[in-house]
């Protein structure tokens, strides 16, 4: 208290005097804590982002020379293209833009169904987990396992499940649903591949959502439900009028991270189908990757497309925040 | 009546949980059982219980594929990534939460903005950068290449880690800080002696998230590592894909070897992990 008042007393006088360099350093010493992160960010983050923005206005096949520090772009391997890259994949080049819009469509389908699926599966499980006092830890650990093992191991297990003579088909046949089996494998059939991928995605994203919902449920006061029961509210009404609205902030977090992840992600598609069969599971991220590292490299195109993806991801996140914020504040 | 109803509710809760636990566990059970079967049996029988236990498949897979070597590579990379992330971003989180400096808010927001930049956007520029720095290519040594592999992973984990650490440090009572300052401790003393030791849950969370991510990472290492001797486990595992006759039991044994360490780490730290994750995300 005393210290604060003396400071307030002499601040007007010293405020007019210029602070010494030393004083400046001392006041901002906290920046030293942030410095390693900032340096890493400048070199591996900001530099690459700027590089990518500039590259999106050039046509470059990866050979020859292109650099931004110092600037160099040697024809014929590298040429200034203006907005051509963007125009090509957005509308000008029929095959290219066809692939792009198809991939984007898959991204959007995944964003909707994977996100909805995650929420619809995770919420009941979290509610059940919250009720189950006995054995909660063991159930929680079991349910969380899929999030620990993303990547290639998951790809192998699921690809066996989805094989033509794999687990899923045999199970279907053994329960008399053989007509529903996928003869060319679940990932091999154009009409089923996307759905099959989305199931794996939901399977691996449910655990995180369960944890977040469980944490949210544990903050809801029990009195609310007791009061509701006295008023004669059914279980369904309790869910709809108490649980769901109070969990809305958690749902926002889940929905935004899920959509963000689905729109940006491509590793699972890369490992499980590489966009096949015949482009039926192609997503924008994978297409960008193919332009960047595939057989026919068009690095400027890869950059241009990835900035289109960034704009989409950003707008969707903003829209989500808007919608949910207005809902939660009312 | 009410008692009956609540019993039914509890009963159905356990049914839902058991069913889903089985669903989430089944692929792993299948992985274990197939790793112990002969290849013919994997294809012929869909039973979880092998007719005969072939433990030698796991041992052979480990030996034949020279797994220990790739296992070590994976461990080295994961350890350096996690230590780097925890050190760099716990400091940054503390800096944002507990110290003042010009432009701190702007800087924090620009870090968060990075979350929306798709990872694939910077892949091409990163490769060019590493080439220009001589960190990848034919002349690059193992330490150089690994450094080039690790730094972008650390940077990629930055935004979310800073977010979690900052929220956590901001939630600790400010008396901690004041008391230490009165005792004459510098900001560094406060951080290393008081705040960092208190941050175990969030360190576990950030640690596990990145152990999982780095251990399983496929695409970025596959771009950077061009010497097969330097491969990580996932790259070695993907090589199995190139065999003409698929040996499912070997695949499953290899997958099992690969996921076991992460599961062990997870089982030890899961309590902290959940606490840290929910504290960071819900409060934010």
Q: Is residue B86 part of a domain?
A: yes
Please check whether residues A276 and A134 belong to one and the same domain: yes
Q: Is residue A15 part of a domain?
A: no
Q: Is B209 exposed, middle or buried (0-12, 13-18, 19+ CB in 10 A)?
A: buried
* CB-nearest partner of A36 from B91, B107, B234: B91
Q: Is A239 exposed, middle or buried (0-12, 13-18, 19+ CB in 10 A)?
A: middle
Q: Would you call A314 and B116 a contact, using CB atoms and an 8 Å cutoff?
A: yes
Q: Which of B39, B112, B116, B119 to mutate to test the interface with A (most CBs of A within 10 A)?
A: B116
Q: What pLDDT sits at residue A206?
A: 93
* CB-nearest partner of A33 from B20, B92, B121: B92
Q: Is residue B193 part of a domain?
A: no
pLDDT in tens, B37-50: 888 887 777 777 88
Helix (H, G, I), strand (E, B) or coil at A278: coil
- A75-104 residues touching B, CB cutoff 8 A: none
Could you tell me the residue range of the domain that residue B214 belongs to?
A: 56-168+199-283
Using an 8 Å Cβ cutoff, are B127 and A303 in contact? no
Please check whether residues A217 and A310 belong to one and the same domain: yes
Q: Is residue B253 part of a domain?
A: yes
Q: Structural domain tally of chain A?
A: 2
Helices (H) and strands (E) in chain B, counts: 14, 0
* String of DSSP letters for A216-273: HHTTS-HHHHHHHHHTT--HHHHIIIIIHHHHHHHHHHHHHHHHHHHHH--HHHHHHT
Using an 8 Å Cβ cutoff, are B201 and B279 in contact? yes
What's the ipTM?
0.87
Q: Which chain B residues are closer than 8 Å to A317 by Cβ?
A: 116
Q: Is residue A130 part of a domain?
A: yes
Contacts of A86 by beta carbon, 8 Å cutoff, 6+ apart: A56, A304, A308
Q: Is residue B144 part of a domain?
A: yes
Tell me if chain A has a CB within 8 Å of the CB of B142: no
Mind listing the pLDDT tens digit of every residue in chain A (330 residues)? Answer: 344 444 444 444 444 456 677 777 777 778 889 999 999 999 998 899 999 999 999 988 887 778 887 787 877 778 888 888 898 889 888 888 888 999 999 999 999 999 999 999 999 999 999 888 888 888 988 888 888 877 788 888 888 889 888 888 888 888 888 777 887 888 888 888 999 999 999 998 999 899 889 888 888 888 888 888 888 888 888 888 888 988 888 888 899 889 988 998 898 899 888 887 888 999 999 999 999 998 888 899 999 999 999 999 889 888 887 877 666 554
Please check whether residues A278 and A155 belong to one and the same domain: yes
Q: Which two tokens stand for residue A113?
A: 């169904």
Scanning every residue of chain A, which has its alpha carbon at the shortest distance from the alpha carbon of B132? A67
Q: Would you call A131 and B13 a contact, using CB atoms and an 8 Å cutoff?
A: yes
d(CA B207, CA B210): 5
Q: What is the pTM of this model?
A: 0.87
CATH number for position A148: 1.10.3720.10
Q: Is residue A82 part of a domain?
A: no
| B269: preceding bond cis by omega (within 30 degrees) | no
Helix (H) or strand (E) holding A184: none
Please check whether residues A126 and A211 belong to one and the same domain: yes
Tell me if chain A has a CB within 8 Å of the CB of B24: yes
Please check whether residues A157 and A298 belong to one and the same domain: yes
Q: Would you call B125 and A51 a contact, using CB atoms and an 8 Å cutoff?
A: yes
Could you tell me the residue range of the domain that residue A126 belongs to?
A: 88-329
Q: What pLDDT sits at residue B189?
A: 83
Q: Which two tokens stand for residue A128?
A: 């059940």
d(CA A50, CA B125): 9
Q: Which of B81, B87, B104, B124 to mutate to test the interface with A (most CBs of A within 10 A)?
A: B124
Query: Of the candidates B89, B87, B214, which has an alpha carbon nearest to the alpha carbon of residue B150?
Result: B214
Q: Is residue B2 part of a domain?
A: no
CATH number for position B278: 1.10.3720.10
Q: Could you give phi then psi for residue A73, rounded to 5 degrees?
A: -150, 100
Q: Is residue A302 part of a domain?
A: yes
| DSSP assignment letter at A185 | -
Q: Is residue B230 part of a domain?
A: yes
Q: Which chain B residues are closer than 8 Å to A49 by Cβ?
A: 117, 121-122, 125
Q: Is residue B215 part of a domain?
A: yes
Q: Would you call A40 and B123 a contact, using CB atoms and an 8 Å cutoff?
A: no
Q: What pLDDT sits at residue A6?
A: 42
Please check whether residues A38 and A161 belong to one and the same domain: no
Q: Is residue A215 part of a domain?
A: yes
Q: Is residue A154 part of a domain?
A: yes
Tell me if chain B has a CB within 8 Å of the CB of A139: yes
Please check whether residues A28 and A171 belong to one and the same domain: no
CA torsion through residues A58, B115, B268, A199, sign: negative
Which residue ranges of chain B lie beneath pLDDT 70?
A: 1-2, 279-284
Contacts of A192 by beta carbon, 8 Å cutoff, 6+ apart: A182, A186
Which pairing describes strands A66-68 and A58-60: parallel, antiparallel, or unpaired? unpaired
């Amino acid at each position: 208290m005393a210290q604060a008042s003396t400071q307030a007393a002499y601040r007007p006088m010293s405020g007019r005097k210029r602070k010494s360099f030393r004083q400046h350093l001392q006041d901002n010493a906290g920046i030293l804590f942030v410095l390693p992160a900032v340096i890493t960010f400048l070199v591996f983050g900001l530099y690459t982002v700027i590089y990518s923005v500039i590259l999106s206005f050039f046509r470059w096949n990866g050979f020859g020379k292109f650099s931004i520090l110092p600037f160099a772009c040697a024809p014929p391997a590298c040429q200034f293209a203006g907005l051509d890259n963007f125009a090509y994949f957005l509308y000008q080049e029929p095959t290219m833009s066809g692939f792009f819009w198809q991939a984007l469509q898959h991204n959007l389908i995944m964003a909707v169904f994977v996100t909805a699926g995650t929420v619809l599966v995770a919420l009941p499980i979290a509610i059940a987990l919250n009720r189950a006092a006995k054995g909660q830890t063991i159930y929680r650990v079991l349910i969380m396992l899929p999030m620990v093992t993303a990547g290639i191991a998951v790809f192998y297990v699921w690809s066996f499940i989805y094989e033509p003579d794999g687990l899923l088909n045999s199970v279907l046949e053994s329960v008399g649903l053989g007509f529903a089996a996928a003869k060319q494998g679940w990932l091999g059939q154009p009409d089923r591949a996307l759905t099959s991928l989305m199931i794996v995605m939901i399977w691996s994203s449910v655990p995180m959502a369960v944890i977040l919902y469980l944490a949210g449920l544990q903050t809801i006061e029990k009195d609310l439900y007791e009061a509701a029961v006295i008023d004669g509210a059914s279980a369904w009404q309790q869910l709809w009028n108490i649980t769901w609205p109070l969990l809305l902030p958690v749902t926002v977090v889940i929905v935004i991270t899920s959509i963000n992840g689905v729109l940006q992600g491509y590793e699972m598609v890369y490992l499980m189908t590489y966009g096949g069969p015949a482009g039926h599971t192609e997503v924008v991220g994978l297409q960008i990757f193919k332009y960047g590292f595939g057989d026919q490299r068009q690095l400027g195109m890869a950059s241009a497309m990835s900035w289109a993806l960034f704009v989409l991801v950003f707008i969707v996140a903003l829209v989500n925040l808007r919608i949910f914020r207005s809902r939660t504040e009312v | 009546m009410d008692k009956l109803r609540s019993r039914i509710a509890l009963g159905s809760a356990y049914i839902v949980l058991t069913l889903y636990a089985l669903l989430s566990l089944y692929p792993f059970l299948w992985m274990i059982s197939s790793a112990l079967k002969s290849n013919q049996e994997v294809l012929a029988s869909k039973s979880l219980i092998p007719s005969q236990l072939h433990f030698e498949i796991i041992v052979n897979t480990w030996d034949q594929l020279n797994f220990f070597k790739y296992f070590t590579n994976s461990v080295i990379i994961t350890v350096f990534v996690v230590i780097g992330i925890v050190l760099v971003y716990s400091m940054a989180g503390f800096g944002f939460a507990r110290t003042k400096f010009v432009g701190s808010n702007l800087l924090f927001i620009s870090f968060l903005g990075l979350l929306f930049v798709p990872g694939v956007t910077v892949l091409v520029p990163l490769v060019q950068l590493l080439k220009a720095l001589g960190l990848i290519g034919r002349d690059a040594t193992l330490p150089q290449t690994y450094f080039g592999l690790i730094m972008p992973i650390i940077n990629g984990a930055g935004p979310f880690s800073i977010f979690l650490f900052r929220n956590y440090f901001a939630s600790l009572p400010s008396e901690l800080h004041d008391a230490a300052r009165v005792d004459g401790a510098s900001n560094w003393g406060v951080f290393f002696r008081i705040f960092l030791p208190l941050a175990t849950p969030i360190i576990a969370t950030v640690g596990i998230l990145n152990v999982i991510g780095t251990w399983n990472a496929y695409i970025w290492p596959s771009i950077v590592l061009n010497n097969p001797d330097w491969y990580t486990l996932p790259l070695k595992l993907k090589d199995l894909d190139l065999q003409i006759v698929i040996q499912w039991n070997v695949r499953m044994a290899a997958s099992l070897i690969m996921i076991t360490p992460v599961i062990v780490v997870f089982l030890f730290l899961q309590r902290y992990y959940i606490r840290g994750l929910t504290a960071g995300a819900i409060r934010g």
